[in-house]
Structure 1
Amino acid sequence: MEDFEKINYNKTQYVISIKNWSCQDRPTEKLCQKGAQHLTDSELLSILINCGTSGKNAVDLAKELLAAADNDIKKLARLSVKEIVNLNIKGIGPAKAITITAALEIGIRREMSLSRKEVVLSSKDIADFLKAQLQYHQREVFVVVYLNRANKVNHYEIVSEGGMTGTVADPRIILRKALEQEAVSLVLCHNHPSGSLKPSRQDEELTYKIKEAARFFDIKILDHLIVSEEGYYSFADDGIL
């Protein structure tokens, strides 16, 4: 289907194809000539959307989609395929929603890859990586990072996923996996979808419970991190681990 742009001229509506835009204004040509960094969020999304509907071009659809996410690409990245479809934007069905979701997930994984440290020497070394992974989750999830004697990451895994306000992590599952991975130390982490970085009483109690259980296996809990869009909080840095 051809892309269109609506314009008004002398109170008469005309439809102009994006193909008739100047080359420097077309998103695909602009990307090739200037680089992706020079495109707006809506222009990048329009390339994924590819084609519009009668009366709306791909850029129009991209702007409408962004508006539905409060013009926040991070909020859009949190939406599932079903949630994007349920926005009921004419021209964005399951196929385009899948393409958009996949592209945004690639962006998340790229951010994770760039922030991952081979050797963990401080809370920030791993906080940036975990923040990249967890900040887009709409529900609270609990992650454990398993490290070897050289403080290198052997494995990381989401061990539980809860609701909007909390999740419960089972120390037995965490420690069983630690023994399987031959880990000598762990970093605990969970996200706060609300954005708050303040640990709850339950967070403190769970940290203590896991720390005491791990002690019997000579496994050390290096830190417990809380991450959100706002940044991260470290139990170790705050001296309460």
Structure 2
Amino acid sequence: METSKNLIVSNVAEIELVYKTNVKASERPKIASSKDANTILLENWNSDKIEFVEQFKVMYLNRGNHVIGIVDISTGGIAGTYVDIRVVYAGALKANACAIIVAHNHPSGVLKASEQDKTLTRELKKAGEILKIQLLDHLIVTSEGYFSFRDEGLL
């Protein structure tokens, strides 16, 4: 009986909650507007893919709206990409983020939110409210401009 119990325990994965950074807090950029967020996101976007395939990224922020990090959540095809809300917030929880800004590109260059974009934004906002992690904005980015859900009153 005892051997069986030990076997079960040894087959359980250890989960460690750790956040490591090599960037000093004073060196992290601060987000004060959608323009700031767009600038930083574009600096971290592969310019070879922005007009090719749709990608979804998340910017994690601390309480002072300083960028903790940016994570690529998914890459899809020409017309869309799948976003798992659990993955978006798993990163936020691990980084101890207080807020997030999400972004995706439209390879077509169209700076207009689709119904799917609006639905996803509502779902992300609702999940964030439960976790006490604020969704500050959802940007649609292209090589020639951006669309902000916050600026357009959709968030």
TM-score, structure 1 as length reference: 0.50
Question: Does the C-alpha gap of structure 1 residues 226 and 188 become closer, same or farther in structure 2, counting only changes over 3 Å?
Answer: same
For 1:129, the equivalent position in structure 2 comes to 40
For 1:109, the equivalent position in structure 2 comes to none
In 2, Cα distance between equivalents of 1:136 and 1:190: 15
Equivalent residue in structure 2 for 1:180, among 94, 97, 111? 94
1:240 is paired with a residue whose SS is coil
Larger radius of gyration: 1
Alignment of 1:1-241 (within 5 A): 118-132=29-43, 133-137=45-49, 138-241=52-155
- Structure 1's unaligned 5+ residue stretches are 1-116
In 2, Cα distance between equivalents of 1:194 and 1:128: 20
In 1, Cα distance between equivalents of 2:113 and 2:133: 23
Bigger helix share: 1
TM-score, structure 2 as length reference: 0.77
1:159 is paired with a residue whose SS is strand
What is the percent sequence identity of the aligned residues?
43
- Decide whether the 8 Å contact of 1:143 with 1:188 is kept in 2: yes
In 1, Cα distance between equivalents of 2:46 and 2:113: 16
For structure 1, which segment, 125-134 or 218-227, has the greater mean C-alpha deviation from structure 2 after superposition?
125-134
Question: Does the C-alpha gap of structure 1 residues 236 and 134 become closer, same or farther in structure 2, counting only changes over 3 Å?
Answer: farther
Question: How many positions carry a matched residue from both structures?
Answer: 125
Q: Deviations over 1:197-234 (max 9, x none)?
A: 11100000001001101111111000000000220000
4+ aligned runs moved over 2 Å, structure 1: none
- Decide whether the 8 Å contact of 1:135 with 1:228 is kept in 2: no
- Structure 2's unaligned 5+ residue stretches are 1-27
